[in-house]
Amino acid sequence: MGRFWLSCLAVVGGVALLAGCDNKQKDEVSLLTEENQTLRTQLDERNRALDASDADRRQQALRVADLERQLAAQPASSPNTPTGATGFEGIEGVTTAVGPGEITATVEGDVLFDSGKTTLKASAKKSLDQIAQVLKTTYAGKEIVIEGHTDTDPIKRSGFKTNYHLGFERAFAVREFLISKGVTAERISLSSFGPNQPLGSKAKSRRVEVVVKQ
């Protein structure tokens, strides 16, 4: 009987040992599975971060290429044009404006002419001489349009039929003076807007504009 019970105890012990080993193995498998899942999650996060970084780099490259195209589309400035200036600054009676593809030097009509007249005042010639020098140097070879403008008062006593005629003759007088100072005649064209583009006052409306095409 003793041997029988000893045999039974041995069998029971073996079964318990096997059960313990099986539980330990399951725990190890579970731990490894959890660790593997953690590593996969970390790898996925890093891949997503790399994808986002690549997308950012591609977006930046597209932005740089777009800016370069915009810069290339801008008209090249004249190499003789002073940076931040037009060249007409400081000339008496002249104001300047920069627009798309052109620079305008506006000369006050009262600086150039007496009321209703087209003969240049002696005092106007100094300003026009300075304008001519700028046209010959800073804007050499550029197309020039001289525009005559008047106020809105109808012609009464002068010998001109309309303000358009007066505006044209004044533009023509400025053209002739600039040519006499060495500006090439072929570069210059004329236009008269008469009273069509008035400014804030009658005095400001009476003007001649020298427009340089860029």
For the beta carbon of residue 176, count every other beta carbon within 10 angstroms.
13
pLDDT at 2 over 80: no
Q: What is the pLDDT of residue 79?
A: 46
| CB-based burial label for 63 (10 Å; 0-12, 13-18, 19+) | exposed
Question: What does the pLDDT average to over 101-122?
Answer: 93
What's the pLDDT tens digit per position in 114-145? 988 999 999 899 999 999 999 999 999 999 99
pTM of the model: 0.61
